[in-house]
């Protein structure tokens, strides 16, 4: 069982650990609500939006959603910091 550590410092940042997912990108048409597939490449949703406008020439506005994955790690001075090194 792990101990509860109160008032310990932690660092929050983008998860860059081995195997962590990079950002996920999506676009949705603000005219009709149709959306692209989620992709780890910005290019796929962008191409979808251009094609969507090509098929629906009055659909020209899109909402972009980017999902990023974060991770906490013990900061220097946190007793768990030694375990992370």
pLDDT score, position 7: 74
Q: Return d(Cα 74, Cα 82) in angstroms, integer.
A: 9
Task: Identify which of 68, 79, 82 has the alpha carbon closest to the alpha carbon of residue 12.
Answer: 68
Domain assignments of the chain as residue spans, ordered by start: 30-75
- Whether pTM > 0.85 for this model: the answer is no
Sign of CA dihedral 75, 6, 12, 84: positive
| Cβ neighbours of residue 31 closer than 8 Å, sequence gap 6 or more | 56, 58, 59, 60, 61
User: For residue 10, is pLDDT > 70?
Assistant: yes
For the segment 21-45, what is each residue's pLDDT rounded down to a tens digit? 999 999 999 999 999 999 999 999 9
pLDDT score, position 81: 87
Grouping H, G, I as helix, E, B as strand and the rest as coil, residue 63 is strand
Q: Is 77 or 46 the better-scoring residue by pLDDT?
A: 46
């Amino acid at each position: 069982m792990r101990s509860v550590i109160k008032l310990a410092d932690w660092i929050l940042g983008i998860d860059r650990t081995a195997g962590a997912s990079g950002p996920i990108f999506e676009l949705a048409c603000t005219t009709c609500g149709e959306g692209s597939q989620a992709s780890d490449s910005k290019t796929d949703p962008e191409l979808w939006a251009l094609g969507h406008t090509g098929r629906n020439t009055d659909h020209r506005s899109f909402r972009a959603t980017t999902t990023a994955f974060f991770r906490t790690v013990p900061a220097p001075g946190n007793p768990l910091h030694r375990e992370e090194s």
